[in-house]
Amino acid sequence: MLVRKTGIRALLSLAAAAAVTGGTVTAAEAGTRTDLQRSLDGIVSAGAVGVQAEAIGKHRTWRGTSGTARLKGGRPVPRQGLFRIGSTTKTFTATVVMQLVAENKVGLDDPVERYLPALVPNGENITVRQLLNHTSGIREYLEDSEEFPLEGQDFLDRMRFTDYAPRTLAQIGVSLPPLFPPGTGSRYSNTNYVLAGLIIEKVTGRSYAEEVRRRIIRPLGLDDTSLPGTRTSIPGPHAHGYIQVTEDGTTRPVDITRLNASWAWAAGEMISTTGDLNRFFAALLGGRLLPPAQLKAMKTTVPFTLPDGSADGLGLLKLPLPCGVSVWGKDGGLHGYMTQSMHSEDGRHITISVTLRENSGSAYMKIGEAIQKTVADTFCGRR
């Protein structure tokens, strides 16, 4: 789901790859390929419908899949299939904001009130930086379960194909009592990134979607990455995701692939591929999208960390691993889909997409347990 849950935060290590693409395969590479394919198979055994992954090492790119494209069907998962990236959208949104900071059009420590007057209560004391690193204290608009029934038949009936206006999402979030005074705590909130999208539109006079396309997608040639708006389909080869719906005492999986994700907007609407996400993060962390000062700010984490040591920067997540390596990236989840894209300082990049058969926290945790070994193998094992 788009809302950050404990179970989803445990999935920070989604990673893997499988078949080598050309060239001579050494014994070490063959072993790595076998290990990673076994990891993908393990994610499916843990309950995923399918999984696809791309890992870029120092000398070689690996791609692999496991499972099937549909719950009941033998067709394999497309190797470069499209999928909903959920909250990984936030890194794109944050990057555009930081480009505007570099252009002196937005001040990172300016109050939100300067750009969105009279929208955010106490907006004169909440900064743009605090939106991007989730220290604003602003509540999650999706907490309003009456307006946003995220599960079961209610979701299908009331949200699945409904159009939502971004400003309405923001108004619902800021109308809820704040969690804490700005800057005194940290709590993941999609409202922060809806407000960031509105700031982009206010400052540029163009839609947030057009700014992402103009500044990131087109320059990097991310041809398979899109911002669907109210479009419900995935525009290309893709695997199907599911949720569980209980009706009259019977639970059944429902194909949730077609979905109007306008309720996620700048916080989680985008569609992409493993290859495009790897190219995006390589460009971002390699300094091709931001000047050094803005990239440094983006990688400056808040002091509020979780038990696993992970911490939020500005649209980026830092995850320390047992071997002493820290990786950067972003996780994401939307109905039926789960995404993880992680990247190390030495230029290794890993993105994986998982399609789900249900949307429960226990299902997320089982898949999370299956992928924990993969991240250690990928970044701490054979190189």
Cβ–Cβ contacts within 10 Å for residue 382, how many? 12
Query: What pLDDT sits at residue 32?
Result: 60
Query: What pLDDT sits at residue 306?
Result: 72
Tokens of 362: 């226990």
Taking only the tens place, the pLDDT of each residue in 7-52 is 333 333 332 222 222 333 333 444 566 777 888 898 999 899 999 9
Task: Please tell me which residue in 13, 66, 87, 310 is annotated as part of the active site.
Answer: 87
87 in active site: yes
Query: What pLDDT sits at residue 248?
Result: 84
CA–CA gap between residue 175 and residue 100 (Å, rounded): 28
Write down all domains in the chain, each with its CATH number in brackets: 6-380 (3.40.710.10)
Query: What pLDDT sits at residue 372?
Result: 67
Query: What pLDDT sits at residue 370?
Result: 74
What pTM did the predictor assign?
0.92
- In contact, 284 and 294? CB cutoff 8 Å: no
CA–CA gap between residue 106 and residue 98 (Å, rounded): 8
CA–CA gap between residue 59 and residue 382 (Å, rounded): 13
Question: With a cut of 70, which residues of the chain have pLDDT below it?
Answer: 1-33, 305, 371-373, 376, 382-383
DSSP state of 355: E
Query: What pLDDT sits at residue 2?
Result: 66
CA–CA gap between residue 199 and residue 151 (Å, rounded): 30
Cβ–Cβ contacts within 10 Å for residue 145, how many? 10
